[in-house]
């Protein structure tokens, strides 16, 4: 009878080791949450990667938001002159109605039309220019940095894993598959080297 143990054991052990090491590596992204010390010396890899670099991650996200997502060029390309003019005319209608009330009927429609036609483009340019000033005042980069850096690490972990859970599971499984394949290569190598 053929003893299959020498042929099965290396791939099975390789699969377990591959699966386990990837599982630990992913766990180490988020854990431990706090720095650990032994005899006053910091234990390597504590805290985990994300808790340790939370502020750096926050700064990086803030920069991404400011430079790539919410910047004046992007907003300028999305706000068309027609949209702004239309909104300005709508706001002017509301302002006239609110401020003049029942006296609005005294202003002829033709006169109001020409006033809107003349003022709307000028006001829309002013609004567009001021919008960029308001965006600079709002400082989305700083808001993102402040929020992400002060986010409880458990919630940050939950948010990241909520998005990446499927992929992280594939990575763990891939570790098992690669470990199994390495074990098979070892069995084949042992067969030919004996």
pLDDT score for 183: 93
Give the orientation angle of helix 153-193 with respect to helix 5-30, to 10 degrees: 160
Does the model's pTM come out above 0.75? no
Contact 189, 11 (CB under 8 A): no
- Residue 41 backbone phi and psi in degrees, to 5: -100, 140
Per-block mean pLDDT, blocks of 10 residues, the chain (194 long): 82 94 91 89 87 90 83 70 68 64 65 68 70 75 87 86 89 94 92 82
- Amino acid 107: pLDDT: 64
d(Cα 48, Cα 26) in Å, to the nearest integer? 10
State residue 103's pLDDT score. Answer: 60
Distance separating alpha carbons of residues 88 and 104, to the nearest angstrom: 18
Beta carbons of 12 and 180 less than 8 angstroms apart:
yes
Tell me the residue range of the domain where 116 lies.
Answer: 5-193
Domain count, the chain: 1
- Both structure tokens of 60: 């990086």
CB pairs under 8 A, 24+ apart, for 22-25? 22/171, 22/172, 22/174, 22/175, 22/176, 23/172, 23/175
């Amino acid at each position: 009878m053929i003893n299959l143990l020498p042929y099965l054991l290396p791939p099975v052990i390789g699969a377990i080791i591959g699966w386990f090491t990837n599982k630990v590596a992913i766990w180490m992204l988020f854990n431990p949450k706090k720095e650990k010390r032994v005899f006053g010396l910091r234990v390597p890899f504590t805290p985990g990667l994300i808790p340790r670099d939370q502020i750096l991650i926050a700064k990086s996200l803030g920069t991404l938001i400011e430079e790539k997502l919410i910047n004046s060029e992007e907003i300028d390309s999305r706000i068309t002159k027609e949209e702004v003019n239309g909104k300005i005319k709508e706001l002017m209608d509301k302002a006239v109605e609110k401020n003049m009330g029942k006296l609005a009927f005294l202003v002829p429609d033709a006169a109001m039309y020409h006033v809107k036609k003349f003022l709307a483009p000028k006001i829309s340019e002013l609004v567009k220019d001021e919008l960029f000033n308001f965006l600079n005042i709002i400082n989305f980069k700083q808001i993102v940095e402040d929020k992400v850096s002060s986010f409880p690490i458990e919630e940050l972990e939950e948010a990241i894993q909520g998005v990446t859970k499927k992929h992280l599971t594939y990575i763990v499984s891939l570790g098992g598959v690669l470990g199994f394949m390495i074990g098979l290569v070892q069995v084949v190598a042992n067969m030919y080297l004996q």
